[in-house]
Amino acid sequence: QSVLTQPPSASGTPGQRVTISCSGNNSNVGSNIVNWYRQLPGTAPKLLIYINNQRPSGVPDRFSGSKSGTSASLAISGLQSEDEADYYCAAWDDSLQGWVFGGGTRLTVL
Amino acid sequence: QVQLVQSGAEVTKPGASVKVSCKTSGYNFTSYSLHWVRQAPGQGPEWLGIINPIGGSTTYAQKFQGRVTMTRDTSTSTVYMDLSSLKSEDTAVYYCARDLFPNNDFWSGYSPWGQGTLVTVSS
């Protein structure tokens, strides 16, 4: 049972915009920043968004992040087939004194 | 280029210990903290802790305190994660991952990651 809650699946058609939510509480998302990772099958996760809405070098601006209260969202615009992957949110938890993750959202491009 | 190369897969028995290594290259080893994260089959990632290579200071997740030990060898730019009293629930892929930015920038996430080490705990 993951500390942060994500929908298990999401889907969209090529070119569409999709959003993935991440819900926490006041000990984690509500009081700390959120990072997002993408994981292709059989590979290590890769950082996609850091500090709520910043993109590491090399990540296209089709990916954006936002946070409000105890929820965060990842938006992907101009959906492409190569965006099919698992997406995870992460935040520091003040009560647990550690980084916590969501259970992941599997994105399917129809 | 920055690389994190981990040791190979391990099969071990309940109650035993396992030690996974993560050899880094392509950057100043002492400038970036390193994290250990594991991922059980079909599950989300789980953070085990962090080590600062400068002095070797560590912070462990509460869940693993007393069972996990993280160390480093500055001469080989390698970090190690030792997990003891293994249970079947510890079966997972274990990853090392570097802070995105140097100098204890704790908040900006982990990048890059090692390739992962599968640890299987089975009697």
Per-residue model confidence as pLDDT tens digits over B41-60: 999 999 999 999 999 999 99
What is the average per-residue pLDDT within A82-87? 97
pLDDT at A81 over 90: yes
**A72: which residues sit within 8 A by CB, 6+ positions away?**
A21, A22, A24, A29, A34, A36, A52, A65, A66, A89, A91
What is the average per-residue pLDDT within A22-43? 97
pLDDT at B107 over 90: no
Residue B44 is nearest to which of A56, A92, A103, comparing CB atoms? A103
Give the phi and the psi of residue B30 in degrees, each rounded to 5: -80, 0
Q: Does A95 touch chain B (CB under 8 A)?
A: no
For the stretch B51-85, what's the b/e string if a residue is b when 16 or more beta carbons lie within 10 angstroms of its beta carbon? Answer: bbbeeeebbbbeebeebbbbebeeeebbbbbebee
Interatomic CA distance for residues B64 and B47, integer angstroms: 9
Residue of A nearest to B42 (CA): A103
CB neighbours (10 Å) of residue B45?
Answer: 28
Residue of B nearest to A104 (CA): B44
Residue A50 is nearest to which of B47, B100, B113, comparing CB atoms? B100
Count how many residues are written for chain B: 123
How much is the pLDDT for B4?
98
Interatomic CA distance for residues B111 and B40, integer angstroms: 20
C-alpha distance from A15 to closest chain B C-alpha (Å): 28
Residue B104: pLDDT band with limits 50, 70, 90: confident
Count how many residues are written for chain A: 110
Residues B3-35: pLDDT tens digits?
Answer: 999 999 999 999 999 999 999 999 999 999 999
pLDDT at A108 over 90: yes
